[in-house]
Amino acid sequence: MQIHWRATILSACLAAFGMTGLAAAQDYPARPVKIVVPYPAGGSNDIIARILAQKLSERVGQQFFVENRGGAGGNIGAESVASSEPDGYTLLLSAPGPLTSNVALYKNLPFDPTKAFAPVALIAQVPIVLMVHPSVEAKSVKDLIALAKAKPGTINFGSSGNGSTNHLAGELLKSMANINIVHVPYKGAAPAMNDLVAGHIPVMFDNMPAVLPQVAGKKVNAIAVAGAKRATAMPDVPTVAESGLSGFDASAWFGLVAPAKTPPAVLKKLEGEIAAVLKMPDVQKRFTELGAEPGDVSGAAFGKFLADETTKWTKVIQVSGAKVE
């Protein structure tokens, strides 16, 4: 009889816990939700995050707002989310670095991305563009490679930071072309682009949303797209692979994750709201204008996507020998 009562009490507690979790999801969000972008304002990660935050705010009637916490290749912002209360009110919208490649780049990463986060959804995929300042005597990838070989160790390439996809794209170029160009990391894409436009650095890989206005204004020259296929927004710009480096493939994406142990019901609600936002015609139009494509995976499927990306970039890092102290 005692065992029976204990079992009944346990069942009641579990049921109550389940109802509490369900109620929490039904009420979610009951207060403002913070989306941490682990890079400074102005970059493509920030642009995409603010579009998402605005539309989620409109849909659920509660504020979603963006907080920029840059530094350490995105690790500072990511760690702040990893250590946050797993209640759905602090989220991370990040480029690949903190979620995938930084594991292989940093010796003492303060969190394990495979255990620290619960995958929510892929928000956008974005082509990466190889650009040069107009003063650079290179109109193609072949020209740039020839210039780098003629002047080894003298050409700098900027990126949004150590361990960023744009940094790794440069490392992949160095490795596949067998050239010696020097990486100059910045604290975000915006300051790097400012220096490229000003002519302080001659070469840079950056994401399409930030590239388009600079190319349109003829402030930089786009010489190649880093992905496996040409970008819809720049159909006349060849890929790096087409330009002589067969197999070259690097693209950027932005994904949303929550702290591990966030209630599944809250995650499901987020997934549903985000899926609805990404299907909105005005959002799709805005993404197209930015050169981005809305994401199409969430939950466990996004978790597999993250695992595959980790494997891919770990191999690139091992081949290139890239490290971040």
Domains of the chain with bracketed CATH: 2-126+252-320 (3.40.190.150), 127-225 (3.40.190.10)
Are residues 292 and 136 in contact, defined by beta-carbon separation less than 8 angstroms?
no
Query: What is the predicted pLDDT for the residue at 19?
Result: 45
* Tokens, residue 150: 């003629």
Confidence of residue 319 (pLDDT cuts 50, 70, 90): confident
269-296, pLDDT tens digit by residue? 999 999 999 999 999 999 988 888 899 9
Query: What is the predicted pLDDT for the residue at 12?
Result: 54
Counting residues of the chain whose pLDDT is more than 90, the rounded percentage is 70
From 186-195, 236-245, 258-267, 299-308, the region with the lowest mean pLDDT: 186-195
Distance CA(321)–CA(92), nearest Å, equals 28
98-146, pLDDT tens digit by residue? 999 999 998 889 999 999 999 999 999 989 999 999 999 999 999 999 9
Q: Which segments within 196-250 are labelled E, that is strand?
A: 203-207, 221-225
Query: What is the predicted pLDDT for the residue at 235?
Result: 94
157-172, pLDDT tens digit by residue? 999 887 788 999 999 9
Q: What is the mean pLDDT of the chain?
A: 90
Counting residues of the chain whose pLDDT is more than 70, the rounded percentage is 92
180-199, pLDDT tens digit by residue? 999 999 988 889 999 999 99
pLDDT at 13 over 60: no
Q: Where are the alpha helices (DSSP H) in the chain?
A: 2-27, 44-60, 75-82, 96-99, 102-105, 113-116, 141-150, 165-177, 189-198, 208-216, 264-278, 281-290, 299-320
Tell me which of 23 and 137 has the higher pLDDT.
137
Tell me which of 222 and 318 has the higher pLDDT.
222
Tell me which of 26 and 24 has the higher pLDDT.
26
First vs last C-alpha separation in the chain? 62
pTM: 0.79
Bond into 29 cis (ω within 30)? yes
Confidence of residue 241 (pLDDT cuts 50, 70, 90): very high
